[in-house]
Structures are given as C-alpha cells and as structure tokens.
Amino acid sequence: MDPFQKIQIGSTGISVPRLGLGTAPLSGMVLGDGLYGGTAHDEAIKIIDRAQELGISYVDTAPLYGIGRAEARLGQSSYTSTERASFVVSTKIGRVLNLVPGGISAADDPDGIGELVPLNSWTRDDVHRSIEESLERLNLEYVDIIYVHDPDVEPYGEEQTINESFPALLELREQGTIKAIGCGMNEWQMPLKFIQRFDLDIILLAGRYTLLDHSGLSEFLPACVAHDVKIAVGGPYNSGILARDLSQPVTFDYERASDDLVATARELTRICASHGVDLKAAALQFVLAHPAVATVIPGAQSIAELEQNIEMVRQPITAELWDEMRAAELLPANAPTPE
C-alpha cells in the first residue's frame, strides 16, 4: 500500500493520506485521574518535524492530549512554517482548558501554555471558545476538521452534543470557518446515532475496528458507507497489544490485556511470522482495506516508530495470509482485506 495516497472526504475539498499521525503519545493523554504516556518536549517536536519532512500530511490532535501540550507542540513544529494547504489538521471540542491558580505559568513552561486543567463541556459557547484557544495553541489560522470528543464520558454529553455542539459546528462549516465535522470516540453506538441525525463528514473511531476488535464492522461501517461518511481509524494497535512484545505484559485499550486477548494476538503473530509479515503491518493494512476507512492515525513515541509505521503500510502482504486468518476464525468472513 501507498501510505501517502490521498482519499477525498466527501465534498469537503479535503483529502487525507492513508497514514496520518496521532499526537496523544507525544504529550500524554488524560485517562481517569492521570496521564497516559507522554514524550519530552524537545523529542516530541523532533518527531513532529520528522513527520512533516517525511510527507505525512494529516495530523490529529486535541486539547485533552497532554492538557494542551499536543496542540502547543504541533504549533511549534515545522508544519506551521510550511504552506498551509499542504497539510490537514484535526482537533476536537468537548474539553475546555482552565489555568490552575498558582500553577506553572506560561513563561516558565517550555510548551508556553502553563498548567491547565480540563473541563468537560459540549455547549455552543464552549465549542467556540475551544476552537479559538486551539487555534492559538496550534499557531494556525484555521483547522480543517473538528471532532466532537468523547461525549459519552458524562451523562449530559450526548444531549449537549445533539442540541448544541453539532448545530454550532454545522454553522461554522456552512460559514467556511471549518471544512469537515464529525466525532471522535472509543465506541461506535453513539456515532451511529449521530451520522443518522446529522450531515457529518468523518468519524474518528478509536479501537473499535482493528485486527483484534471487529465490533464496528457489522452495523456501523456499512452505515458510514451508506451516509458517505469516512472513517479515521485511531488506536489501530489497541494501545499496544498489536505492536508490543507479547512475552511481556501488554495493554488493550490502555488497560492490561486479558489472557484471551493475548492468546489471540499471539496466534495472529504466528500467522504473520509464517508469511514473513510484521503484525503491525497486518494491523494497519487490514483497517485500510475497508471502503469506509480513509486514513489510519497511529501515534509514535520516537522517530523510529514513526518511520516504522510508514514501512508497515508499505510492507507486501499476500492474500494467503488473510485467508489463513479467516480459516482460523480470527477475521470475520465479511471483513474486507487488501487485494
């Protein structure tokens, strides 16, 4: 596969490459009461700069990632000094960031944002506030794609999203302020409701259509095809189990993977090895084979991981590998695979 092949997102005028870059690991992602992962400031900038140098033209970020740090680091990267039309940026609404009283000041912070705390909100006013503050951190005049981020984390999130977030985003798209809208979630059930109710362009589906988790296949992805909604696949390695040494403890959706999931991943690894294929290559190319999927956006915590993701999309895989996975009932019979 060609990682730089461009796919059009409906009638938005946006096209994204088959391989983009997710920035959560470059800053730390809020999970529960803490941060997951994280990369030092200087190293993160080097990784983002290298992505731009290699030709990766789609970068996804969010206020939640590192509590503003992912956006700020992208804003300090070489992307902002290149022709704006040459790359696509997506960020999210759903969290606004407030300064911590007495916390680290922006002047004392290498990211230049100070110590912030996220507040869950999907109101119309906070849609506008969030976008304005993201643009400041990103050092950009506009963002191409805005996703509604995780409205399932609060009992009022779905209601606010339906009544306030999407109407506000639809107005901004109509005005030309943003080009494409959607939502970014770790489930498919709520996004299914959204695409049936609103004219959305793209969904960032994290972890629910992977080599190991096919839960989005039967109902959600066909609905996306029917509604001409494209998918950006996040978490293609399910937070590590499809990319790490399985002789050590690994994670699935940021928690320790169960023995059953590890056993399945080992069988997938065995089949890949018998065909001379890296499991990560199979993981990326499998999701890209579905007609609803436009792009996959794995994160990277080093330049080596970034460069490896490119090579994984390019690695040749024969049809026999996919046939063997189906025969072992590791893939659904109706799951599209690369030709």
Catalytic residues: 60, 65, 92
Q: What are phi and psi of 149, to 5 degrees?
A: -100, 120
